[in-house]
Structure 1
Amino acid sequence: MNWYKLTVEDTLKNYQTSTEGLSQEERQKRLTDQGYNEIEARQQTKRWKKIVKHFTDLLMIVLIIASFLKFASSEYIEGSIILFVVIVNGLVSYWQERKAEESLNGLKQLMGQEAIVLSNGMQVKIPAKELVKGDVIVLRAGDVVPADVRLIEVHDLLVEESILTGESEASEKNHSVLAAEESIGDQKNMAFSGTLVQSGSAVGVVVETGNTTEIGKINQA
């Protein structure tokens, strides 16, 4: 759902919550139904399988056959060049995949922080993994955003989103409704899981947790 297109009132209504937050009883019920706010751990593939798969796609197979044909016709230099390209490409692809996995593992550790939620108007500190959709949370400078949040109250909020957008400059946030289709970097009324609050403060409604967050979707991909 395009949460940035909804008004604050519609967002609260959608998750049957309010600016006072959920009661502890309702939070526990939703936690049981929704599960923990965690990115699902994927089954680890053996290293040799990870390496081999980069040499078994169609293009690599064609190049390997081409190099063997060159060797068979005594064109050793051309065959060696093609084989060298195949090996380098496969190893570079494996290295890039490994770095991406390491980055995602780092994100999972970041999400293991605490979060401040409003419950019946009172601020309560809880483990971030216990956040549920409909929770109203408080964001402050230095916080790593623990879930995807539709902002409902903003005070000079700057969020560093390079982990999602690649932009080095922090994004200035507000709570105004956006009518047009916008990319992640232009959704100014949203704060996304794994991004860093550089300055300011805000209150927002948790709209996506775990695998349904933007960073969770990247992990699944």
Structure 2
Amino acid sequence: MTAGIILLMVVSGLIRYVHDSRSSHAATALATMVSTTATVRRVGAGERQIPSEELVVGDIVTLSAGDIVPADCKLLESRDLRIAQGALTGESMPVRKDAAALLAAGARDTALTDAACLVFMGTTVISGSALAVVIATGRSALFGGLSRAFQWQRPPLPVARMAGAHGPLRPGAADGRQGPLPGRRRRGWGSSDA
């Protein structure tokens, strides 16, 4: 009976491992097939498609309906431009963006994403077209800053937290003595104080 249960657990674990391995390989293959490109205008090179990772500050990009904005940009020209920036702000409706709009100087209560002359990496062009200059890319972009802010870091172990907050766990621990700190009693199941 016990051997049968162990056998089922081993077979189940092997099936799960094979399935996870195959799906991981499929996801990796899809990621390599799909690449984000940007249409960029560079002096002497004209207009061409390049991978978004190759964009640098100062590049001039063209945006049209259906494009994902490849970097944070300042609009130079725009025509009926509407951007879905729900990934950054949670807004369900597209926002109108206009190159003629000015940045509100000194407006501390206005969110950066409300600036009508700026478009941000990771947002989507819903309609219209625009010509924009790249002002930030990758981790320097607003979206990159958000991803850095939400990166998970393993919390320190309880022992490390205690050592960091209270210095060494036991005064004189270098002498090899162990046990609770002096003046403290051990508490167990049978102790009357909780």
TM norm structure 1? 0.48
1:123-134 alignment runs, 5 A limit = 123-134=47-58
Q: 1:156 aligns with which of 72, 76, 80?
A: 80
Secondary structure of the residue that 2:113 maps to in structure 1? helix
* Total equivalences in the alignment: 113
**Which of the numbers 12, 31, 43 marks the counterpart of 1:120?**
43
Q: Which runs of 4+ in 1 moved over 4 A?
A: none
Mapped partners of 1:112, 1:161: distance in 2: 21
What value does the CA root-mean-square deviation take over the aligned residues? 1.9
Please identify the structure whose Cα radius of gyration is greater: 2
Shift of 1:178: 1.9
| Per-residue Cα deviation, 1:152-187 (whole angstroms, up to 9, x for no partner) | 100000000000000001000011212242313311
> Identity across aligned pairs (percent)?
41
1:119 deviates by: 1.5
Q: After superposition, where does 1:41-190 map in structure 2 within 5 Å?
A: 112-120=35-43, 122-175=46-99, 176-180=101-105, 181=107, 182-190=110-118
CA contact (8 A) 1:135 1:205 kept: yes
Once the two structures are TM-superposed, the CA of residue 112 in structure 1 deviates from its matched residue by: 4.1
Equivalence map 1:198-217=2 (5 Å): 198-217=126-145
5+ long unaligned stretches in structure 1: 1-107
Q: Unaligned stretches of 5+ in structure 2? A: 1-30, 150-194
Q: Tell me: higher relative CO, structure 1 or 2? Use CA pairs within 8 A at least 6 residues apart.
A: 1
Measured in 1, the distance between the counterparts of 2:57 and 2:113 equals: 22
Q: Deviations over 1:98-125 (max 9, x none)?
A: xxxxxxxxxx99x940100112272111
Q: Secondary structure at the residue paired with 2:144?
A: helix
Can you list the C-alpha shifts for 1:125-156, whole angstroms capped at 9, x where unaligned? 11111000000000010000000000010000
DSSP 3-state at the match of 2:104:
coil
Match of 1:219 in 2: 147
SS of the aligned residue for 1:217 comes to helix
Quick one: distance in 2 between partners of 1:211 and 1:194?
12
* Structure with the largest fraction of helix: 1
- How high is the TM-score relative to the length of structure 2? 0.55
